[in-house]
Structure 1
Amino acid sequence: MKGKTQGLTGRQVEYFALGGALGSGIFLGVGQGIHIGGPSLILAYAVAGIVMYIVARCLGEMALNGNRGGSFVSYTKRYWGPRAGFVHGWGYWVCGTMVCMAELTAVGMLVHSWIPSIPQWIPALGGLLMLCFINTLRVRVFGEVEFGMALIKILALSLFLVVGVWLLFAGPTTSLPTATVNNLWTQGGFFPTGLQGFLSVLPIAAFAFGGTELICLAAAETVDPERTLPRAINGLLVRLLLFYVGTTFLIVTLVPWREVPTDGSPIVAIFERMGVRAAGAIMSVVLITVLLSACNSLMFGMARVLRALALERCAPAPFGRLNRYDTPGNAVAVSMLAISAAIALNYFIPGEVFGLLMNSIAMAVVAVWAIFVAVHLRFRRSVDDLGSLTYAAPFAPWGNLFVLLFLVAVTGILAMDATFRPAFIYVAGLFAGLFLFTLVRKPPPTVD
C-alpha cells in the first residue's frame, strides 16, 4: 500500500503476532475446554496450531511474492475476483469488530467483578478510547505499546510454565497432592469424554489461534519484511505450541481434569492452591492487559483492511486516507464507531452480550480462514514457476486441503450444537448478504 511507512521492527512484529494469538482463550477458555474434552484438549491445541501455521505460511507466501505492500483483500480480489475481495474484506472487518466487542466486554466484566460500583460499560469505553488513540499514532509507537503488552502476557505464562514444571518434578505436595503425569491417563484416559468430547473442543482450540493472520497485515509496515516475516512466522508456531500445549499439559497434570475450574482461570486456581493469595488480583491485571492487547492488535488489522477496501474501491474513499503520522486515521475512527456498539450492549444487556458475541466469532473465524487458504490455492495456480517463490508454503496444495477439511469439520460440529446454531445462521447470513450486495452494486475494476 503506497503511502505507509515501514516502521515495525523484527522484535515488534514477533511480539505483535504473539499478542494477537495469546488472548483470553489461554487464560480463561482453557478451563471450559478441559471440562469438555479433558486432557485431549492438548491434542486439539496441537492440531489447531498446525492449521494456524499452514494458514500463516500461505499468507506469508502471498505477502512476499504477490502484491507487495497489499493486504489479503487485494490478494482475494486479484486471484478470485472483485466480489470475493469485497466479501472477504468486509467479512473480516465485521469479524474483527465482534472480537473487539467481546474483548472490551470481558474487560468491563473483569473490572466490574473487581470493583462492583463501576458499571460494566465504563471500563469498556475507556479501553476503546485508549486503543483508538494508540492506533492513530505512528506505527513504531503502536509497535512499542503492543510489544509491552505482549511482554506482560509472555512473562505471566512463562512464570506459570517454570513453576509448573518445578511442581511436577517435585511431586505431590500438601498444596498440590495430585500433581503427577499419571493424571493424563488415570482419570478416565486421555479421551475421558470420548471422540465426541475431543471433536467438541476443536472449535475452542481453533478460535484460540485467531489473530495470527495479523502478522501478514503488518508486512507492508515492517522493516525488511523478506527477513522479518519468515522469522516471525516460524517462531510463532513454536511459541504458541509451547504456551498453549505446555500450559494445558501442566494444568491437567498438576490437577485432575475434573477439578479444573470452568468459571475462572485455572492458572489462578493453581497458584491459590499453592498459597499465593494475591494470584487473583495479579491475574486480573494480567487478563485486562491480555484483552486490551488482543483488541489493540485487531484494531490495527481492521484499520488496514478497511483502508485496503477503500483503495480497491470497495469502501468510501475517505477510509483510505492517511493522517499526519502515516496511519489510516479515518479507518481507525470508523472501526472505533463500529466497536462502540459494544458499549451500548454492555449498558442494556450486560449479562448476555459476551455469550452472544463469542458464539458468532467462532463461526466467523472459520469462514475467514477458509477463504485465506482457498485464495492461496488460486494464487499458486497463477504462478508459472513455483520453484521461484520466496518463502514457499510447505505441503501446498495438500496442506490447504487439510486446513479446509479441518474447518469443514469444525463448522459441522458448531452447526450441530444448538448453542451455536443461531450464530451459524447469523454468520452464514452475513456472508450471503455481502455477496448479494455485490450483485446490485457496481463492481470495482479488476486489478491488472
Structure 2
Amino acid sequence: MAENENLSRGLKNRHVQLLAIGGAIGTGLFLGSGRSIHLAGPSILFAYMITGVICFFVMRALGELLLSNLQYRSFVDFVREYLGNGAAFITGWTYWFCWISLAMADVTAAGLYIQYWFPDIAQWVPSLIILIILLLMNLTAVKLFGEMEFWFALIKVIAIVSLIAIGLIMVFKVFSTDVGVSSFTNLWTHGGWFPNGAGGFVLSFQMVVFAFTGIELVGLTAGETENPEHVVPQAINNIPIRIILFYIGALFVIMSIYPWNSISPDKSPFVQVFAAVGIGAAATIVNFVVLTSAASACNSGIFSTSRMVYSLAKENNAPAAMRNLTVNHVPANATIFSAIVILISVILNYIMPEGVFVLITSISTFCFIFIWAMIVICHLKYRKKNPALAAKSKFKMPLYPVINYIILAFFAFVLVVLAFNEETRVALFVTPVWFMVLGVIYKIMKEKEKNQEDSQSKLA
C-alpha cells in the first residue's frame, strides 16, 4: 500500500449528480413524512421550503470554499486553515460520528426490511450480509461506490416521480378515495394551511432538518471527482430544483390526494397512495424502495467516514495506518475501520433496546447542525482573510455576509425547537459530552507530541 499517493478522481459527472439527489432523499421522506404531515399539516411544505433554501446556501458556501483550493480533500482541510487544527480535529471526528450513527441505524433498518419478505431469518443475518457486500464494493474502487449510489438514487427518483405522476392523474380525474375525492382543495379546506397553528409548524422543523442530513456529501466527493470545477457547481446549483420536485412536489401531491388529517402518522403516505390506485403490492414496492434507501445511506456512511478518517490521518489526527491507500487509491484501513464500528450495531441489537438508536440519531442531528455551522463560519473567515482570492471565484456564495448570519440564526432556532421535543431533549445534554471528550483527547494527543519533541530535542 502506498502512503503518499492521492485519492483517485474516479467519480464521473453522472455519479456526482445522482449523489446530490441521493443525499437529499432519505428514508425520512418515504417513512417519516407521514409523521411530519400529521404534526404540521399542509404548512409542512413551507418548512421544507425554508430548510431547503438554508441548505442550498450552506452548499454554496461549501462549494466556494472547496473550489478556492483544489488541494482540499474535504471540508476538514479548510476548517484547519481558517479555524485551526483543534477545530479540524473536532469537526472531522464529529462528522465521522454523524455518519457512523446513521449507518448503524440504517444497516439495522435494512435487515428489518428484508425480514418483511423473509420473517424466519434473524434480523442480524441480512444486516451483516449487506454490510459485507458494501464494504467489499467500497474497497474495490471509488468508481464502484459511484455506480452503487447512482442506481440506489435512481430507484428513489423513479419511486417519487411515479408517485407524483400517479397522484396528478388521480387529482385531475377527481379520483374517489375512502375519505373523499382527490383535489388540490384538500390542501386548505381541512383547517387551512396551518391547522395546528404556529406550534405544529415550528415543531415540524426537527424532522425536516433531519431529512436533509447528508446533503453535504457532495462536498466530500470533491477530491475524487473528475473536473470538480464543472461538476461540483452543477450538482449544487441543481439542489433547489430537486428539493422542489422530490420533497415539496411529492408531499403536495400526497396531501392533494388525501386530506392531511387522513394520512396515518405511523405509515408511509407512499403506501397509501399506491394502495389507493389499486396497486396491491404497494407495501412491497415501498419496502423495496426504503431498503435501497437504507442500503444507500449505509454505503454513503462507509464512504464518507473512511474519507474523513483518511483526511484526519493525513494531518496526524488519526493513526498513521489510516492514510495508506490501495493500488486503486482507496483508503482500505480507514474503510475497514469504519465498517467494523458500524458492525457494532448488529451486536447492539441483542443487548440494547431500540431507544438507543433514537438517541444516537438525535445526537447525530445536533452534530450535523454543528458541521453545517462550521462550514458557514469558515466561509465568513475565508472571505475576510482572502478578499483577492474570493474576488476571482467563479462560484461565489450569493448574499454574503447577510445570508451567513441568517443561516446561523436558523440553526440556533432549530436547536431551541429540538430542546422542546421530549425525544430529542436528552440529546441536547448528551452532545456537549461528545465535544468535551474530543477536546480532552486532542489535548492529550498534543501534550504527548510536545513531550516527544522535547525528548528528541534533549537527545539532539
Taking structure 1 as the reference length, the TM-score comes to 0.95
Partner of 2:423 in structure 1?
419
354, 367, 378: which one aligns with 1:375:
378
User: 1:71-90 alignment to 2 at 5 Å?
Assistant: 71-90=74-93
- 2:458 corresponds to: none
CA 1:220–1:2 in 2, change beyond 3 Å: closer, same or farther? farther
Match for residue 188 of structure 1? 191
Q: CA deviation at 1:350?
A: 5.4
2:433 matched to which residue of 1? 429
Identify unmatched segments of 5+ residues in structure 2: 451-460
Quick one: distance in 2 between partners of 1:396 and 1:135?
38
Deviations 1:271-310 (A, max 9, x none): 1122211111121111101111122123211111110000
Match of 1:234 among 237, 242, 248: 237
State the one-letter code of the partner of 2:418: L
Match of 2:286 in 1: 283
Q: Does 2:174 align with 1:161?
A: no
Mapping for residues 31-430 of structure 1, pairs under 5 Å: 31-66=34-69, 68-173=71-176, 177-349=180-352, 351-385=354-388, 386-430=390-434
Kindly state the Cα deviation for residue 355 of structure 1 after the two structures are TM-superposed: 2.3
Q: For each residue in 1:188-231, what CA deviation from the matched residue of structure 2 results, as whole angstroms up to 9, or x when unmatched? A: 11111111111111121111111111111111111111111111
2:221 and 2:177 mapped to 1: Cα distance? 48
The alignment of Structure 1 onto Structure 2 pairs a total of residues equal to 445
What is the Cα deviation at residue 269 of structure 1?
A: 1.2
Tell me the distance in 1 between the aligned counterparts of 2:349 and 2:11: 34
1:99-118, Cα deviation, whole Å (9 max, x unpaired): 11111121122223443212
Helix, strand or coil at the partner of 1:56: helix
**In 2, Cα distance between the equivalents of 1:82 and 1:208?**
30
Q: 2:297, 2:20 → 1: CA distance?
A: 10
Is contact 1:268–1:280 with CA below 8 Å preserved after alignment? Answer: yes
Report the 3-state secondary structure (helix = DSSP H, G, I; strand = E; otherwise coil) of the residue aligned with 1:187. coil
SS of equivalent residue, structure 2 residue 213: coil
Conserved? CA contact 2:5–2:325, under 8 Å: no
> % of aligned pairs identical?
36
Q: Which residue of 1 aligns with 2:456?
A: none
Q: Secondary structure at the match of 1:108?
A: helix
Partners of 1:145 and 1:370 lie apart in 2 by 30
Letter in 2 for 1:108: G
**d(CA) in 1 for partners of 2:5, 2:182:** 56
Deviation at 1:146, TM superposition (A): 1.3
Counterpart-to-counterpart distance in 1, 2:313 and 2:355: 34
Deviation at 1:331, TM superposition (A): 0.7
RMSD: 1.7
Paired residue secondary structure (2:204): helix
Structure 1 position 267, deviation (Å): 0.6
Q: Does 1:439 align with 2:452?
A: no
CA contact under 8 A between 1:139 and 1:327: conserved in structure 2?
Answer: yes
Unaligned runs of 5+ in 1: none
Distance 2:72 2:423 in 1: 40
Moved more, 103-112 or 125-134: 103-112
User: Matched residues in 2 for 1:190 and 1:405: separation?
Assistant: 25
Structure 2 CA distance for aligned equivalents of residues 369 and 155 of structure 1: 29
Does the 8 Å contact 1:303/1:328 carry over to 2? yes
User: Are the equivalent residues in 1 in contact too, given 2:213–2:365 (CA < 8 A)?
Assistant: no
Whole-Å separation in 2 of the counterparts to 1:415 and 1:292:
30
Residue 176 of structure 1 deviates from its aligned partner by: 6.7
> Partners of 2:130 and 2:58 in 1: how far apart?
30
Q: Secondary structure at the match of 1:186?
A: coil
The farther-off stretch of 113-122 and 286-295 is: 113-122
For residues 254 and 360 of structure 2, what CA distance do their matches in structure 1 show? 27
Q: Is the 1:100–1:295 Cα contact (8 Å) retained in structure 2? A: yes
- Using the TM superposition, give the Cα deviation of residue 340 of structure 1 relative to its aligned residue in structure 2, in angstroms: 1.1
User: 1-side partners of 2:166 and 2:179: how far apart?
Assistant: 12
Q: Residues of 1 paired with 2:8 and 2:251: CA distance?
A: 40
